[in-house]
A and B are shown apart, each in its own frame.
Chain A
């Protein structure tokens, strides 16, 4: 159990806590975002692309 919690904590540290991303989006009034976006986190994007085998589409706005 402790190991699982540590894993979740590490994942949040790596990806950034979801509520922080939400605050950032709200602060930027970036509210049109829909679907499966990785928000403002390139490292999480690389990790996801590596795992899924998909190419990356990175949008700079």
Chain B
């Protein structure tokens, strides 16, 4: 996608892009976090803005580790560009509509001021050559880990950011702006009245030009909440809504994110855990509400000291069953999400199977 856009390979896209001032940003250093709040862990993202810094919308979504482009498309991007042009044509008469597109004041104004990222260099060296740099994704990692270190609350919003609407049964078509592709039976989306083919024009009162815009509204919603949507259905305006219950964000799976490596190394000192197969669960007597995650290995040398205690206490082929007796945590998403929200210095008691026998080990959460 980046190559196609950077190289203007698609003639129709190139023609649309001619109507914009196009800017290419290649590093996070100096990024104004009061404006550029988006899913920083995307490998590629777009902002549409006015020269006065009013944000028209965002483009760029992802929900899987391997398939990085399943939620974006050239067709969808072109439709987002067309929508941004329409928004711009109505500006400044429609300025008030975009107020919610700017997020709350950030904790730190730029990535390099985040304590966990202090000392990272600016990519632009004095001679213009490449130095080290702050990658956009490090802003999220740095913020979360810095807040933990400061004993500040690590909120669900921080651990499970920019949730995809599909987690609430609302799957949007990546080839459109924000058109409903499917609605899961008995889901919040179905209960809220969404229908296949609905084109979401406003969500939470904000004009929508992409799936990322829908994610933005969900990301910033309070909880519990009911987000109202204006949709176009069969050429006519209609309304729908999405109920966000308390704790709804945890239904999302953040394990595709780069941050999971840092979390895993710091919280449990391990490499990716293997999810037990149904057969193995049955053989080992792992219950449905237990984790069933097998230790496969330990981090490479350059990060092996992130959690020395864990590396000493866990063994290869240990099967993790629960932590602190907590039932119902699902996968690494549930385990790491639970641990990262504990305060540094607290104990975590793991129940595990070692050689088929139950054991308990205690770790201090770093």
Nearest Cβ on chain B to A53's Cβ, whole angstroms: 8
Q: Which A residue's beta carbon lies closest to that of B123?
A: A24
Question: A59: CB under 8 A from chain B?
Answer: yes
Q: Is the interface of A mostly helix, strand, loop or mixed?
A: mixed
Nearest Cβ on chain A to B45's Cβ, whole angstroms: 5
Q: Is the interface of B mostly helix, strand, loop or mixed?
A: mixed
Q: Among the listed A23, A35, A52, which residue makes an inter-chain contact with B129, where contact means beta carbons less than 8 Å apart?
A: A23
- Chain B residues 1 to 19 lying within 8 A of chain A, measured CB to CB, are 2-3, 5-8, 14, 17-19
Q: Which B residue's beta carbon lies closest to that of A50?
A: B51
Task: Tell whether, in the assembled complex, residue B6 and residue A56 are in contact, meaning their CB atoms are under 8 Å apart.
Answer: no
Task: Please encode chain A, from 15 to 34, with 1 for each CB lying within 8 Å of some chain B CB and 0 for all others.
Answer: 01101111110011010111
Task: Tell whether, in the assembled complex, residue A40 and residue B51 are in contact, meaning their CB atoms are under 8 Å apart.
Answer: no
Task: Tell whether, in the assembled complex, residue A23 and residue B24 are in contact, meaning their CB atoms are under 8 Å apart.
Answer: no
Task: Tell whether, in the assembled complex, residue A33 and residue B24 are in contact, meaning their CB atoms are under 8 Å apart.
Answer: yes
Q: How many A-B residue pairs have CB under 8 A?
A: 141
Q: Among the listed A28, A38, A52, A58, which residue makes an inter-chain contact with B130, where contact means beta carbons less than 8 Å apart?
A: A28
Residues of B within 8 A of A37 (CB): 6, 22-24
B80-88, B252-260, B356-364 - the one binding chain A: B80-88
Nearest Cβ on chain A to B216's Cβ, whole angstroms: 15
Task: Tell whether, in the assembled complex, residue B124 and residue A32 are in contact, meaning their CB atoms are under 8 Å apart.
Answer: no
Question: A14: CB under 8 A from chain B?
Answer: no
Residues of A within 8 A of B26 (CB): 24, 28, 30, 39-40, 61
Residues of A within 8 A of B127 (CB): 20, 23
Q: Which B residue's beta carbon lies closest to that of A27?
A: B130
* B interface with A by C-beta (< 8 Å): 2-3, 5-8, 14, 17-27, 32, 36, 38, 42-53, 56, 81, 84-85, 87-88, 123-124, 127-130, 136
* A interface with B by C-beta (< 8 Å): 16-17, 19-24, 27-28, 30, 32-42, 44-46, 48-50, 52, 54-61
Q: What are 21 inter-chain pairs, A to B, with CB distance below 8 A? A: A24-B123, A24-B124, A24-B128, A30-B26, A32-B7, A36-B18, A37-B6, A38-B22, A40-B27, A41-B23, A45-B23, A52-B21, A54-B20, A55-B20, A55-B85, A56-B47, A57-B17, A57-B22, A58-B24, A59-B44, A59-B46
